[in-house]
């Protein structure tokens, strides 16, 4: 298999609330919710980086489409990580996330591997690590 992951979809309880959190609170660009004209079709997309998008889709729609039962998620079983270029940038984004409605799980702090990181959960409990890793430039170079 060739690695071609182009979309990360998060199942959410309230699509409007999640759109506000990611677009208005965190500042991720989005055209808003599309596909409302289709049953189970309403979704919001966010461009992350070249070739990668984040999608927010109602949990009920994701369950319907996949054929899986709608169950409560297991917070912490999956984590999205966002690498920044400084400790100050980590602290600033963590503050921005909290102001947007995120729940702080671990305040930004020095890591054992020489970086600086913290964790928050979005309004649906999806776990994010916000990190500065001096060995891994934020631009991916």
- Assign 13 to helix, strand or coil: coil
**Residue that is last in its domain, among 16, 45, 66:** 66
- Whether 137 maps to a domain, the answer reads no
List phi, psi (to 5°) of 123.
Answer: -60, -20
Cα–Cα distance measured from residue 93 to residue 82, given in angstroms and rounded to the nearest whole number: 10
Residue 2 pLDDT > 90: no
Q: By residue range, what is the domain housing residue 107?
A: 79-132
Radius of gyration (C-alpha) of the chain in whole angstroms: 16
Average pLDDT for residues 88-106, to the nearest whole number? 96
Cα–Cα distance measured from residue 133 to residue 127, given in angstroms and rounded to the nearest whole number: 18
**CATH of residue 17:** 3.10.180.10
Residue 63 pLDDT > 90: no
Residue 76 pLDDT > 80: no
pTM: predicted TM-score of the whole model, two decimal places: 0.83
Max mean pLDDT among 16-30, 70-84, 104-118 falls in: 16-30
Average pLDDT for residues 96-100, to the nearest whole number? 97
């Amino acid at each position: 298999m060739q690695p071609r992951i182009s979309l990360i979809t998060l199942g959410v309880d309230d699509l409007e609330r999640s759109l506000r959190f990611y677009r208005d609170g965190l500042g991720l660009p989005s055209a808003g919710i599309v596909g409302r004209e289709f049953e189970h079709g309403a979704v919001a997309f966010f461009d992350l980086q070249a070739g990668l998008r984040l999608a927010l889709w109602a949990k009920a729609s994701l369950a319907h489409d996949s054929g899986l039962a709608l169950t409560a998620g297991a917070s912490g079983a999956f984590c999205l990580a966002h690498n920044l270029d400084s400790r100050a940038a980590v602290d600033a984004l963590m503050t921005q996330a909290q102001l947007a409605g995120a729940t702080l799980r671990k305040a930004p702090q020095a890591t054992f591997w020489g970086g600086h990181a913290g964790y928050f959960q979005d309004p649906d409990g999806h776990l994010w690590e916000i990190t500065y890793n001096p060995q891994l430039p934020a631009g991916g170079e």
